[in-house]
A and B are shown apart, each in its own frame.
Chain A
């Protein structure tokens, strides 16, 4: 049973007060974005929108964020499953490591990544020699930087999802003749599905908005935030603002699609039945 909280006269007053206070936060989010959009002339936006480098930067951003989100899922979900389902010595340390990127300033992250993946980095050199994989100033570098700052969102959301799955459901499935891997696919994943989607969405959103770490490890090829920064340095605020409007519209559209498309959100995929 869901008990709806009905406002009595006094709690009604509390709610009104809370709405007013919370409204300040909402306004501080919406107003700058609204201001950005309203103070641009459509002609100016159209002019910037005609520049091919604007669109290539947006494409790099979207592609990079998608790959980063996919990597976060592939490497992060198994870790989240282990964290949700088992107790072991040093679990708190692992959890702290997962959350660490949230506390590290992103320029610091960029510098640190440079030492690992840069042209003289400890992983950069062998990966370049063995696989021909370069990170400094490449798409791979963008993905690595995005992944570093956004992976915690994937792991944490998935961990909450996996812990929410009643272990007895998995046990019952076993007694019904279903092996452990099939239980994972047929019980655990479908039940954790909404949280996994939230994790991917948040990871994508965080990755696409990343500037600090990306700009240090991979200035080129330019992502949208880096291109906006470059426009700002070269042509001033107006050019940068016009491109910002375009980027904002696209990111917002993608975010809404991820968040509210029914196939993503409520219903679990039929194949998992």
Chain B
């Protein structure tokens, strides 16, 4: 079987008390898999294991179909980019990039390759600078160029954006996506920032305490988290306890605070207690009750409690029998009265109401 990209099967690692277990990944060339999880979930351990720094108990790591599980880090063809980019502080930009190229032969081709990389990453003017004279964004370029020099088969990124300011970070995400697409190298990107995961990921793996909790396309993770932990971690705006009232063929009805909400489906087993997850961007607000506002249509009368200016939009917190959040883009905010106490109608499409089992906290 020929297989391109990075494939990880049933990976298990034991490090003292900490264990990483049953991790599976499948990253196609040019794609970015984001590993999302809180601090201490084992994200960095996973990356360093893929790079070859921790012994694997069981499972396999395959690069383009080749088993590298027991291969030394220097022979894996897997590049690792750290949070603060780990540039060699004693070397110039050009020497950092040259680092992986020097195998005793050197010569014209090596020099040409360094020149080429300096040009491609726009670093020619900085070639003689030391890392401590570079900005965060420049360091990141040097680290990428240094890794590119050895033509890696896989890229691993360990929270590279956390050392950057917000503006540089946004730029980095776009540049990175473009870069991966262009080079066609599969990448694993570790972060605890769900917004970053959303911006970068073709595929997401949520990690908690060394275990993969949910894997899938970003939309699956962000709109349909499998449990309360994932829901909280991907920052679902409204998470409210509810009780199942009735289950029909086409919808499931829940009692939520003083209101009733129907969901298109609810995969909560035999349990009647659930946690309803509603992303604010799917909640529609109107000044008047829509024509179709009967039972089961999820149109609720609501009172504005607060409206927070978030730049391009307002985040509006409402009392709809329970606390519900909605986003209102500024261009449509003029049609609505968002002062606290104002009365509105909120529409929550049933297919956007996602129920997860309520776990004992």
Q: When each residue 164-175 of chain A gets 1 if its CB lies under 8 Å from chain B and 0 otherwise, what string results?
A: 001011011111
What's the least CB distance linking B155 to chain A, in Å?
Answer: 10
Cross-chain contact B74 with A177 (CB below 8 angstroms): yes
Cross-chain contact A175 with B90 (CB below 8 angstroms): no
In the complex, A268→B90 CA distance in Å? 8
Cross-chain contact A169 with B88 (CB below 8 angstroms): yes
What's the least CB distance linking A183 to chain B, in Å?
Answer: 8
In the complex, A258→B91 CA distance in Å? 24
Cross-chain contact B91 with A175 (CB below 8 angstroms): no
Most B Cβ at <10 Å: residue of A171, A187, A190: A171
Assess whether B146 is interfacial by the CB under 8 Å rule. Answer: yes
What's the least CB distance linking B143 to chain A, in Å?
Answer: 8
**Contacting residues, chain A, for B78 (C-beta < 8 A):** 175
Cross-chain contact A172 with B80 (CB below 8 angstroms): yes
**Contacting residues, chain A, for B95 (C-beta < 8 A):** 273
Instruction: With CB as the reference atom, state the residue of chain B lying closest to A191.
Output: B90
Cross-chain contact B90 with A174 (CB below 8 angstroms): no
Cross-chain contact B91 with A176 (CB below 8 angstroms): no
Interface size on A, residues (CB 8 A): 19
Assess whether B228 is interfacial by the CB under 8 Å rule. Answer: no
Which of A174, A176, A190 is within 8 Å of B146, CB to CB?
A176
Which of B79, B90, B149 is within 8 Å of A190, CB to CB?
B90
Assess whether B322 is interfacial by the CB under 8 Å rule. Answer: no
Cross-chain contact A191 with B89 (CB below 8 angstroms): yes
Assess whether B296 is interfacial by the CB under 8 Å rule. Answer: no
Which of B86, B91, B147, B149 is within 8 Å of A166, CB to CB?
B86
Assess whether A12 is interfacial by the CB under 8 Å rule. Answer: no
Interface size on B, residues (CB 8 A): 27
Q: Which of B87-139 contact A (CB under 8 A)?
A: 88-91, 95, 99-100, 103
Assess whether A248 is interfacial by the CB under 8 Å rule. Answer: no
Given A171-B53, A273-B91, A273-B95, A176 contacting B86 (CB threshold 8 A): no
Cross-chain contact B82 with A177 (CB below 8 angstroms): no
Cross-chain contact B74 with A175 (CB below 8 angstroms): yes
In the complex, A179→B74 CA distance in Å? 6
Q: Which of A110-128 contact B (CB under 8 A)?
A: none
In the complex, A174→B80 CA distance in Å? 9
Cross-chain contact B150 with A177 (CB below 8 angstroms): yes
Given A171-B48, A171-B53, A273-B95, A176 contacting B90 (CB threshold 8 A): no
**Contacting residues, chain A, for B103 (C-beta < 8 A):** 177
**Contacting residues, chain A, for B91 (C-beta < 8 A):** 273
Cross-chain contact B86 with A175 (CB below 8 angstroms): no
Assess whether A252 is interfacial by the CB under 8 Å rule. Answer: no
In the complex, A273→B94 CA distance in Å? 11
In the complex, A176→B150 CA distance in Å? 6
Assess whether B73 is interfacial by the CB under 8 Å rule. Answer: yes
Q: When each residue 254-293 of chain B gets 1 if its CB lies under 8 Å from chain A and 0 otherwise, what string results?
A: 0000000000000000000000000000000000000000
Assess whether B51 is interfacial by the CB under 8 Å rule. Answer: yes
In the complex, A171→B51 CA distance in Å? 9
In the complex, A190→B99 CA distance in Å? 14
**Contacting residues, chain B, for A176 (C-beta < 8 A):** 74, 79, 99-100, 146-147, 149-150
Beyond contacts A171-B48, A178-B74: 4 other A-B pairs, Cβ-Cβ < 8 A, are A172-B82, A175-B78, A178-B100, A273-B95
Question: Can you list 6 pairs linking A and B with CB atoms under 8 Å apart?
Answer: A171-B73, A171-B80, A174-B73, A177-B74, A177-B75, A179-B74
